[in-house]
Copies of this chain bind each other. A is one copy, B any other.
Amino acid sequence: MIKNNKKIILASASPRRRELLAQIGMEFQVLPSGAEEKTGNCSPSEMVKELSHLKALDIFQKLSGGEQAQSLVIGADTVVALDNNIMGKPGNKENAVKMLSDLQGRTHQVYTGVTLIWQEDKSMVQREISFYEETSVTMFPMTPEEIEAYVATGEPMDKAGAYGIQGKCAAYIKGISGDYNNVVGLPIGRLYQEMKKI
């Protein structure tokens, strides 16, 4: 629904981010960033903005001059925070069980940072905007058996905080405050509104 003369490039390998862009009818290309996800930032909101910037910049810099003039690159990064302690992807089953045991029955925050990089048509000046969205998620209590069964599905492994709100974990979500798609991995409403301004 966006009329844009730029070719949109998503700098992320996440199938969920891809699905969200496709859901609102956006045409785009996927070029996953290999940027190292390192930051000295301890604030979740600043951290996801910085990491989304690194991903978008990594891909923008790999484009040729001609491609840069025609492209708008989107980078995104998502983390889960409980009492301001940041949770990334669990990596293994033990960590997944630990994360879910901490999250169950409580409210935590999900932060997604988004960075857009493009070149202005006439001035050829490189432009960039970064923003983040914060969503609070409240989970029902889970028994150790429910946590084990959920981890055994394999769903938690590649997800920050070890759960997928859009998957089987929906059974354990009491409610949220904020944008749902921000928890899935991309605040598609805010992103669309920001892209309209460009």
Question: Footprint of B on A, CB under 8 Å?
Answer: 1, 20, 23-25, 135, 140, 146, 149-150, 153, 165-168, 170-181, 188-190, 192-193
By the criterion CB–CB under 8 Å, are B189 and A174 in contact?
yes
12 new A-B contacts at CB < 8 Å, known A1-B171, A177-B177, A180-B180: A1-B168, A165-B180, A170-B189, A171-B192, A171-B193, A172-B192, A173-B180, A173-B189, A174-B190, A175-B179, A176-B178, A176-B180
CB neighbours of A24 from chain B (8 A): 168, 170-171
By the criterion CB–CB under 8 Å, are A177 and B175 in contact?
yes
By the criterion CB–CB under 8 Å, are A1 and B181 in contact?
no
CB neighbours of A1 from chain B (8 A): 146, 149-150, 168, 171
> What is the CA–CA distance of A131 and B171 in the complex, to the nearest angstrom?
16
Residue in chain B with minimal CB distance to A170: B188
By the criterion CB–CB under 8 Å, are A173 and B179 in contact?
yes
CB neighbours of A153 from chain B (8 A): 25
Min CB distance A175 to B, Å, is: 5
By the criterion CB–CB under 8 Å, are A181 and B170 in contact?
yes
A23 touches which of B20, B146, B168, B172 (Cβ 8 Å): B168
Min CB distance A127 to B, Å, is: 22
Min CB distance A81 to B, Å, is: 18
Most B Cβ at <10 Å: residue of A24, A25, A171, A193: A171
CB neighbours of A176 from chain B (8 A): 176-180
Most B Cβ at <10 Å: residue of A24, A175, A193: A175
A-B contact pairs, 7 of them (CB 8 A): A20-B170, A23-B166, A23-B170, A25-B168, A173-B189, A174-B190, A180-B180
Given A140-B193, A146-B1, A180-B180, are A23 and B175 neighbors across the interface (CB < 8 Å)? Answer: no
